[in-house]
């Protein structure tokens, strides 16, 4: 059984819906389709039905895909994740997908790779996990305390903390996590992502892109005097602990896509 999650960008594209419908018929795929408006719906659906899906397909934006991955605890270990993009975003490039038509063919070809996901408060992430440290959507910069491997304590003004997963087995790194913190201005026009969630648009305020800190670590704790939220605006209770809670995610990628291109966005032009 396929579980298809479709966000607003997918719903708004008649051409995509028609193509996906035709593709399902052509390959006689048994699916359950869910039209998603908020990340909470994804949690509810995955909790209730996650175990019955052999293949989970996110149709829409990469935010939808990361929201689906974050609920991986509800899926069977042998289940497979796939992505049908509505735009040529970074995730589509990582997976080697040109467009939704190409992505549909890729799903049926079923070239599967295994990646290791890490967790933050039971929610998993494959590539990176962004934490917003803000009082409000204006993106006011707050004092953040980060404890790395229990040996180093760092204090700084930062409103965006990005945790990169470098534990995907194929990369020649020793560290599970590379942590970066930024102090950035927010643009006055905050955008709305395709799951209808408010995400402050962060823009760099200096030539140095607002980078405050970059450190590798095995274990990270993040504390803030004010609120912490993830990229989907789900509030997180401080202190946030990021460590070695691994899970293998089976992911469908384009045949011939180099593993390095999937792991390292820096290699993608």
Partner 1 sequence: MAIPFFKKKPAELPFDHFAEYYIGADVVGRGSCQTDQDIYIDGTFDGEIKTTGLIELAKNSVVTADIDARTAIIEGKYKGNITTLDELHIKSCSTVSGKLQAPNLIIDKGAIVNSAIKMERN
> Rule CB under 8 A: which residues touch partner 1?
62-63, 65-66, 89-91, 127-128, 130, 148, 151-157, 162, 180, 182-184, 202-204, 207-209, 211-216, 231, 265-266
Name the residue nearer to partner 1 (CB basis): 23 or 134. Answer: 134
Cβ 61 to partner 1, closest distance in Å? 9
Cβ 188 to partner 1, closest distance in Å? 16
Name the residue nearer to partner 1 (CB basis): 116 or 130. Answer: 130
Name the residue nearer to partner 1 (CB basis): 54 or 87. Answer: 87
Cβ 62 to partner 1, closest distance in Å? 5
DSSP states of the chain: -EEEEE-HHHHT-HHHHHHHHHHHHHTT--EEEEE-SSHHHHHHHHHHHGGG-SEEEEEE-HHHHHHHHTTGGGS-TT-EEEEEESS--HHHHHHT--SHHHHHHHHHHT-EEEEEEEEETTEEESSEEEEEE-SSTT---EEEEEEETTTEEEEEEESEEEEEE--SSSS--S-SEEEEEE--EE-SS-EE-TTS-EE--EE--STTTTEEEEEEES-EEEEESS-EEETT--EEPSSEEEEEEEEEEEEE--TT--HHHHH-GGG--
Cβ 101 to partner 1, closest distance in Å? 23
Name the residue nearer to partner 1 (CB basis): 8 or 164. Answer: 164
Cβ 217 to partner 1, closest distance in Å? 10
Name the residue nearer to partner 1 (CB basis): 16 or 69. Answer: 69
């Amino acid at each position: 059984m396929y579980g298809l999650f479709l966000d607003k960008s997918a719903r708004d594209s008649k051409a995509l819906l028609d193509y996906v419908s035709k593709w399902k018929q052509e390959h006689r795929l048994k699916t359950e389709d869910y039209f998603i408006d908020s990340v909470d719906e994804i949690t509810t659906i995955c909790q209730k039905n996650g175990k019955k899906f052999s293949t989970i397909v996110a149709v829409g934006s990469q935010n939808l895909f990361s929201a689906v991955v974050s609920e991986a605890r509800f899926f069977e270990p042998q289940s497979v994740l796939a992505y049908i993009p509505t735009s040529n975003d970074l995730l589509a490039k990582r997976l080697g997908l040109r467009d939704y038509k190409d992505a549909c063919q890729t799903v049926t070809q079923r070239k599967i790779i295994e990646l290791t996901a890490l967790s933050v408060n039971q929610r998993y992430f494959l590539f990176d996990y962004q934490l917003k440290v803000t009082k409000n959507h204006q993106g006011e910069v707050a004092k953040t305390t980060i404890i790395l491997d229990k040996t180093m304590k760092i204090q700084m003004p930062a409103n965006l903390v990005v945790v990169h997963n470098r534990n995907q087995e194929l990369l020649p790194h020793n560290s599970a996590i590379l942590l970066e913190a930024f102090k950035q201005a927010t643009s006055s026009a905050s955008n709305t992502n395709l799951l209808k969630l408010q995400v402050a648009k962060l823009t760099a305020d200096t030539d140095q892109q607002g980078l405050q800190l970059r450190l590798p670590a095995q274990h990270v704790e993040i504390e803030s005097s004010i609120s912490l939220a993830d990229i989907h605006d789900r509030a997180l209770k401080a202190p946030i602990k990021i460590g070695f809670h691994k899970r293998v995610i089976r992911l469908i990628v384009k045949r011939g896509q180099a593993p390095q291109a999937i792991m390292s966005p820096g290699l993608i032009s």
